[in-house]
Amino acid sequence: KYLEQSNHLASNDWSQENYPWSNKIRENLQSVFKIQTFRSQQLETINVTMSKIDVILVAPTGCGKSLCFQLPAITEAGVTLVVSPLISLMEDQLHGLRKKGISAELLSMSTDSETVNRIHRFLNDADLSNKLKLLYVTPERMAKSKRLMSALQKCYQKEMLERIAIDEVHCCSILGHDFRPDYKYLGTLKSLFPKIPIIGVTATASRRVIIDVQKMLNIRGCLVLNAPFNRPNLFYGVIEKPNENDAVYDLLSNLLKIRYKNKSGIIYTFSIKDTETLVSELLQRDCKVRAYHASLEANQRSKVYQKWMMNEIQAVVATIAFGLGIDKPDVRFVIHHVMSKSIENFYQETGRCGRDGKYAESVLLYKLGDIFKISTMTFVETNGLQNAYSMVGYCINGKNCRRDIFSKFFTEVWSDKNCGKMCDHCSFNSRSRKIMPPVTNITSHYRTLLRIIENARGMDIKLTALKLVDAWFHKGPTKLRLEISPPAIDRNLGEQIVAFLIINHFLEEDFHYTAYNTISYIKKGSKSTQDEIDYQPSRICELPLVTELEDIFNASHSRSYDEEPESHLSHATKKQRIFIDDTDSLNDSF
């Protein structure tokens, strides 16, 4: 049933301007918002929601998702309800709307009673309803205030509730990276207000999350519109992370002081403790950095943010708490000191640089040991391990364009042709600086590793991945080594092979709790096979010079951010998608 209805919606051309509302929408766009042209998928989204059809718009941050519910709101007679997770985001929008003379209100847990009463009068009184255009509400308020729900119902009965917009709609899904428990109450909206169209907007494009959101909101099979996700101005690279901490700090401080001299950026790391350590080490090396994490006090955090906005500090060293709502156009680099816990998180985090459309870089520091920092934390989460392994796949991927990995993971269709040499693999390939290492048959290595594990097990010893690699390369306790010579390969390649075997389940992690933490041991995996196993080694090497990369970028992308590169148009043809809840789509790893 969903499929039939959905296919019909998806095959419609929503970019027409011959709807009853089209003229009015154009007029308001220009006179109220002072905008001349729609960006990708804005017009389509507006037409769908004005047709009273449920829709989810997936579009990158900063591309104007709010307009898709604000413009309909001021064009129609009644009230648009907007649910959003962050008060600061709502306050910004409110401020912007009021400056344009649009009447908008905000209702949160801390709104004073006078304002609450005024808002309820708007909703309850038929004559007043047309005076309020947008009502912003926190999900907490929705969940906890019966009085609000009753007022909304009155408004609905008078046919003055026009639309429900849910900003950052991925917060509904426990599978997303920002799950908000109070968002789950939004699941009742569809049955309370069956005639009211829901519009959800988000920058999270994972198919799995979108399907989950549709289920949560009771709008299964609704139309999903995708604006292009490729960020052509971002260069993606992975570099090898030294094993010695001091070497890592030196590497980071060199990046800040040389490669990113006078440029603004973010360093993401794993834990609060890591941010503090990194900051103190980098300060000792004369870098201008500050820490940002969830356990700082609110005013401390906003101080750090302000200083960074004013370029008084070069980089914020942050946990993922530094996220929603960052709006600095000239962020030139995002460094990942530790990989993210999923590709989705990673894409969101890297997406914070280069908002102004100019050249910017994402650099990730990878080493084998970091996998277990992530996996021991996430293996208890739904899909936690699968997400972590996708991220590892990005790091050790040897043959594909980095963008290719994103496009396989997300819903969009683009290929390495859209990369424009803006990732380490494509840029190296193009200039053949280094020859691609050959695909290697790693079957015998795998057998050796299994024998080492078996041998240790005979002595009642469990091996962590690092101990396993040590024994393989004849380091560490002699009794763990086999009586064959160590492999004739670089240790770095050896570590890559172990990571590859783990993420493909030829080897598996075996998690054990101690009083203080969780340890990952390595055991034989469920996919253990007699077949031959091939591996394409990754070629993690130095980054090209920024100036070279900037030249490459500027030569091929002398367009502004608002224009879509033509190459993109031809590849991203499937912008209107329908996600049906099938088991196939749930296995969307690669």
Binding region for Zn ion (CB under 5 A): 401, 419, 423, 426
The tokens for 142 are: 């929705």
The alpha carbons of the chain give a radius of gyration, in whole angstroms, of: 26
Q: How far is the CB of 66 from ligand ADP (least distance, A)?
A: 3
Pick between residue 359 and residue 579 the one whose CB is nearest to Zn ion: 359
In the block, residue with structure tokens 């101005």: 233
Touching ligand ADP, residues 543-562 (CB under 6 A): none
Output the smallest distance, CB 100 to ligand ADP, in A. Answer: 10
Nearer to ligand ADP, 44 or 404 (CB): 44
Region from 62-70, 261-269, 479-487, 526-534 binding ligand ADP, contact rule CB under 6 A: 62-70
Distance of CA 145 to the CA centre of its chain: 32
Q: Pick the closer one to ligand ADP by CB: 137 or 391.
A: 137
Residues with Cβ within 8 Å of 483's Cβ and at least 6 positions away in sequence, in order, are: none
585 φ/ψ angles, rounded to the nearest 5 degrees? -70, -15
In the list Zn ion, ligand ADP, none, the entry touching 62 (Cβ below 5 to 8 angstroms by class) is ligand ADP
CB of 349 to ligand ADP, least distance (A): 15
Decide: 487 and 473 in contact? Cβ < 8 Å. Answer: yes
Instruction: Count other C-beta atoms under 10 Å from residue 421's C-beta.
Output: 21
Cβ-based burial of 352 (10 A; exposed 0-12, middle 13-18, buried ≥19): buried
- Does 352 interact with ligand ADP (rule: CB under 6 A)? no
**What is the helix (H) or strand (E) element at residue 130, kind and residue range?**
none
Report whether 267 contacts 315 (CB < 8 A).
yes
β-partners of residue 266 are 316, 334
Nearest alpha-carbon partner for 530 in 469, 467, 430, 450: 450
* Helix pair 491-503, 368-378: axis angle to 10 deg: 30
CB of 37 to ligand ADP, least distance (A): 6
442 near 497, Cβ under 8 Å? Answer: yes
Residue 238: which of Zn ion, ligand ADP, none does it interact with, CB under 5 to 8 A by kind?
none
Contact between 423 and 462 under an 8 Å Cβ cutoff? The reply is no
| Residue of 65, 231, 367, 481 that binds ligand ADP (CB under 6 A) | 65
Nearest Cα to Cα of residue 209 among 14, 58, 39 = 58
Q: What share of the chain is helix, strand, coil (3-state, %, to 5)?
A: 45, 15, 40
User: Could you tell me the smallest distance in angstroms from the CB atom of residue 61 to ligand ADP?
Assistant: 4
Binds 468, which of Zn ion, ligand ADP, none (CB < 5 to 8 A, cut-off by type)?
none
CA dist., res. 260 & res. 305, Å (int):
19
User: Among residues 28, 54, 64, 335, which is the contact residue for ligand ADP, using CB under 6 A?
Assistant: 64
Give the one residue of 12, 61, 443, 464 binding ligand ADP; rule: CB under 6 A. 61
Minimum Å gap between C-beta 165 and ligand ADP is: 11
Q: With respect to ligand ADP, which residue has the nearer C-beta, 16 or 157? A: 16
**Residue number, nearest CB to ligand ADP:** 64
Q: How far is the CB of 131 from Zn ion (least distance, A)?
A: 52
Minimal distance in Å, beta carbon 585 to ligand ADP? 25
**Please, are residues 392 and 339 in contact by the beta-carbon 8 Å criterion?**
yes
Determine the length of the chain: 590
Backbone angles phi, psi at 518, to 5 degrees: -115, 135
**Span of 63-71, 135-143, 183-191, 362-370 interacting with ligand ADP by CB under 6 A:** 63-71
Smallest gap, in angstroms, from Cβ of residue 232 to Zn ion?
11
Question: How many binding residues for ligand ADP (CB under 6 A)?
Answer: 13
| Residues in contact with ligand ADP, shown as a per-residue x/- string from 66 to 85 under the rule CB under 6 A | xx------------------
Give the distance from CA 409 to its chain's centroid.
11
The type of residue at 33 is: F
Residue 207: C-alpha distances to residues 24, 169, 226 (Å): 34, 13, 11
C-beta of 562: minimal distance to ligand ADP in Å? Answer: 6
Rounded Cα gap, residues 172 and 190, in angstroms = 14
Nearest approach, Cβ of 40 to Zn ion (angstroms)? 22
Among 10, 22, 26, 62, binds ligand ADP (CB under 6 A): 62
Q: Does 63 bind ligand ADP (CB under 6 A)?
A: yes
Report the DSSP beta bridge partners of residue 136: 82, 106
Q: Yes or no: say if 140 and 109 are a contact pair by the CB < 8 Å rule.
A: yes
Look-up of token digits 């909206």: 189
Per-residue binding string, ligand ADP, 2-41, x by CB under 6 A, is ---------------------------------x-xxx--
What does 426 interact with, of Zn ion, ligand ADP, none (CB < 5 to 8 A by kind)? Zn ion
Stretch that binds ligand ADP, among 1-9, 59-67, 285-293, 411-419 (CB under 6 A): 59-67
Residue closer to ligand ADP by CB (options 59, 217) is 59
- Tell me the three state secondary structure of residue 313: coil
Sketch the per residue contact string, 465 through 504, with ligand ADP: x for CB under 6 A, - otherwise: ----------------------------------------
Joined together, the tokens standing for residue 104 give 């908008």
Q: What's the closest the beta carbon of residue 363 comes to ligand ADP, in angstroms?
A: 24
Closest CB to ligand ADP among 64 and 139? 64
The entry of Zn ion, ligand ADP, none that residue 63 binds, CB within 5 to 8 Å by partner kind:
ligand ADP
Nearer to Zn ion, 322 or 406 (CB): 406
CA angle (374, 257, 236) in 5-degree steps: 45
Nearer to ligand ADP, 67 or 318 (CB): 67
Q: Which residues bind ligand ADP (CB under 6 A)?
A: 35, 37-39, 42, 59, 61-67
